[in-house]
Amino acid sequence: MKALRIVLGAAVWSVAAAAGLWLVCAAVAPEGCNLWAWIVHRPERAMLAGILVAGVAVLWAMSLATRAPGEEELRFAGDGGDVRIRLSAIRDYILRIAPQVTGLEASRCRVGLAGNRLRIVLQCRMPPGRSAIGAARALQERVRSALREDLGIEEVDAIEVQVVAFAEPPAAGRSGPGRITVDGPPSLA
């Protein structure tokens, strides 16, 4: 089905691009293109129609090139079938358990795959006066154990914790701008 969609998409794009270029050609050199009589007599309309059709073809091609790929997932094959867990579900779960480590506030979480193993990058803020290394290691261990014990996921390549700010936590009941943001997968380079 995917191959058929690609072939049909390429065919539609080719026809739209050819029609647009043909109309522009008719507007610029009507005697050389031998098109319909209305195009020859109204080159300004042919030019406008050609630009619109060619523009649609270009925009459509650009939308295909910039379309986000399907969401990544962690897959487990079994005798009874496959089990797939979306990385966005894992990311949301990590953001829910991160505040369990006292004093840390997770501000951003990125989850990616390195082969069939998870690579997690957590950015956090913490209040001053606490050991950043100790808190980061506690968060790494909490996330790793929660993934293993609660979700049954042991395929974790790395959990990187980045302390991005030392700041007092916001007052209860108030949330600051951008407290939790969601990004794509981390760079695996």
Per-residue pLDDT tens over the stretch 104-154: 787 789 999 888 789 999 998 888 888 888 888 988 999 999 999 998 888
Residues facing residue 160 across a β-bridge: 121
Position 40 scores a pLDDT of 57
pLDDT bucket at 54, cuts 50 / 70 / 90: confident
Q: Report, at the CATH architecture level, how domain 84-182 is classified.
A: 2-Layer Sandwich (3.30)
pLDDT tens for 70-110 read: 668 888 888 888 888 889 999 999 988 888 877 778 778 99
pLDDT for the residue numbered 13:
72
CA distance 158 to 43: 63
Element containing residue 77 per DSSP (H, E): strand 73-78
Does the pLDDT at position 32 exceed 90? no
Identify the pLDDT of residue 72.
83
Residue 83 confidence (pLDDT): 87
SS3 content of the chain, % helix, strand, coil (to 5): 50, 25, 25
| E strand or H helix at 150 | helix 132-150
Is the dihedral angle over the CA atoms 35, 37, 43, 48 positive or is it negative?
A: negative
Band of residue 41 on the pLDDT scale cut at 50, 70, 90: low
For the chain, the domains span 2-66, 84-182
